[in-house]
Amino acid sequence: MEANRKILVFVDLPAGELDETGKGLLSYGARLAKILGFSWGAVIPVPPVAEAQEEFGRYGTPSVTLLDGGAELLDLPAHLGSALAALVSETGATLLLLPHNDLGATLAPVAAAKLGSALMTETNSVKNLGSAVELSRQVLGVRLAETRSWDAEQPLVMTVPTRLLSQVLLPSVKPAVPELFVYELNSAPEGATAKVTVRIPPDPQTVDLVDAEVIFSAGKGCDPATFGQLKELCSLLNVSCGVTRPVYDLGYTGFERMVGQTGRTVTPRLYVALGISGSMHHVGGIKDSRRIVSVNLDPKAPIFPNSDEGFVADVKEILPRLIDRAKTAVGGAA
Ligand SMILES: Cc1cc2nc3c(=O)[nH]c(=O)nc-3n(C[C@H](O)[C@H](O)[C@H](O)COP(=O)(O)OP(=O)(O)OC[C@H]3O[C@@H](n4cnc5c(N)ncnc54)[C@H](O)[C@@H]3O)c2cc1C
């Protein structure tokens, strides 16, 4: 592969600020550039506030390009996607990287179609094989792994699941003062047929568990009363609720809430296992969660070695206390 390849990382900067996803993308971009031996830079659709400018430097971002297209740019996906494609073409970039969130997943196919390039969504692994780059992702409800090979000769548009992003500052990445560029866009968008008028986040109570960010799950250690408390807690915290197979078999929930080998394979930021023993059939469906916290009466329960944090405790005692804390927090926030 030629050494003069470049990665452009799209960072949407809500209200000009660098949020968790933005920082995660910069950390990911820096790591990817190192793995592939490419140079890299960020692309932003709105001017950064002063604090965000400093953050770009902390992540060692070599350059930041502002797409100057007016305040409405973020609400015109066709225009913004075309602008990203034009920037890729003009700068000779090889890889356009976006987050796989609502905006990134909308822009990526537009940019790929404009560029006539390949599109790899929800990429969860990138390996430099020397002569090619191997890209992998999970498909069909995270049941199958798909691997593709990219020669890095033709441009590629790639999205990364936001749950895989971490804001870690790599010791090998030195802080930098990024070079700032402005890329002027046409004021009259061509072919912009859709405009975003409102953004509605998914409801954790109904979202498919495969896409859930935080899941609290009940095992057989939860009786019907405790399960009712868990549902109350989930609703207070606005997080998703899951169950093990025996709990599903008891008829507490529908099949779509069951987690594990037969049920959903989940990858949330946080998985809380309450009264779950940790059988291989259940753990197989949660092992790729970013953080697993478990509560079980039995200190020898197999869930503990599979957890980041474990508490030997009675869920019947824990849940009412968590509900009280959540009510105080929600009341305090109101
Ligand atoms: C082919 C096959 C596929 C399967 N697929 C799935 C699947 O997709 N998903 C799945 O979940 N299972 C699946 N199973 C079932 C699986 O093997 C286990 O039987 C199941 O996961 C156990 O569920 P559990 O942890 O809720 O119950 P248990 O194994 O009975 O564990 C209950 C736990 O609760 C603890 N406990 C009890 N009371 C309390 C309390 N008051 N406070 C705190 N802790 C307490 C106990 O110490 C115990 O560890 C499958 C099985 C087979 C054979």
Ligand 1 neighbour 295 (Cβ under 6 A): yes
- For residue 152, being part of any structural domain is answered with yes
* Residue 137, domain CATH: 3.40.50.620
Q: Are residues 82 and 215 in the same domain?
A: no
CB 181 within 8 A of CB 42: no
- For residue 167, being part of any structural domain is answered with yes
Q: Helix or strand or coil: residue 24?
A: helix
Ligand 1 centroid to Cα of residue 204, in Å, is 23
Q: Which segments of the chain does DSSP mark as H helices, in order?
A: 20-36, 50-58, 77-91, 102-115, 224-237, 245-249, 280-283, 315-333
Residue 98 token pair: 């976006």
Q: Give which of 291, 296, 258 is closest to 275, Cα–Cα.
A: 296
Length of the chain: 334
- For residue 202, being part of any structural domain is answered with no
pTM: 0.74
Ligand 1 neighbour 317 (Cβ under 6 A): no
pLDDT tens-digit map of 182-193: 998 876 666 657
- For residue 265, being part of any structural domain is answered with yes
* Residue 262, domain CATH: 3.40.50.1220
Q: Are residues 64 and 178 in the same domain?
A: yes
Ligand 1 neighbour 221 (Cβ under 6 A): yes
Q: Helix or strand or coil: residue 160?
A: strand
- Spatial separation of the C-alpha atoms in residues 170 and 265, rounded to whole Å: 30
pLDDT tens over the chain, length 334 residues: 555 699 999 999 988 999 989 999 999 999 999 999 999 999 999 999 999 999 999 999 999 999 998 778 888 888 999 999 999 999 999 999 999 998 999 999 999 999 999 999 999 999 999 999 999 998 876 678 899 999 999 999 999 988 788 888 877 778 888 999 999 887 666 665 778 888 788 888 899 998 898 999 999 999 999 999 999 999 999 999 999 999 999 999 999 999 999 999 898 989 999 999 999 999 999 998 989 999 999 999 999 999 999 999 999 999 999 999 999 988 765 4
Query: Ligand 1: which atom is nearest the Cα of residue 303?
Result: 49
Q: Which amino acid is at 88?
A: V
Q: Give which of 54, 72, 63, 71 is closest to 18, Cα–Cα.
A: 54
- For residue 193, being part of any structural domain is answered with no
Ligand 1 neighbour 277 (Cβ under 6 A): yes
Ligand 1 centroid to Cα of residue 250, in Å, is 12
Ligand 1 neighbour 302 (Cβ under 6 A): no
Tell me the residue range of the domain where 23 lies. Answer: 6-184
Q: Give which of 3, 8, 6 is closest to 64, Cα–Cα.
A: 8
Mutate to test the pocket of ligand 1, among 276, 295, 314, 315 (most ligand atoms within 8 A of CB): 276
CB 58 within 8 A of CB 175: yes
- The phi and psi torsions of 44 (rounded to 5 degrees) equal -130, 145
Mutate to test the pocket of ligand 1, among 227, 247, 249, 261 (most ligand atoms within 8 A of CB): 261
Ligand 1 neighbour 315 (Cβ under 6 A): yes
Q: Are residues 167 and 251 in the same domain?
A: no
- Spatial separation of the C-alpha atoms in residues 62 and 55, rounded to whole Å: 12
Ligand 1 centroid to Cα of residue 220, in Å, is 6
Ligand 1 neighbour 262 (Cβ under 6 A): yes
Q: 5: Cβ–Cβ under 8 A, 6 or more apart, which residues? A: 36, 37, 38, 39, 94, 95, 152
Ligand 1 centroid to Cα of residue 162, in Å, is 30
Residue of the CA atom closest to atom 36 of ligand 1: 221
Structurally, the chain folds into a number of domains equal to 2
- Radius of gyration over every alpha carbon of the chain, rounded to an integer in angstroms: 22
Ligand 1 neighbour 60 (Cβ under 6 A): no
Q: Give which of 30, 5, 10 is closest to 98, Cα–Cα.
A: 10
Residue 84 token pair: 């990203």
Ligand 1 centroid to Cα of residue 218, in Å, is 9
Q: Give CA separation, 127 vs 3, 95, 123, 269, 303, in Å.
A: 16, 14, 11, 24, 31
Q: Are residues 21 and 169 in the same domain?
A: yes
- Spatial separation of the C-alpha atoms in residues 319 and 234, rounded to whole Å: 11
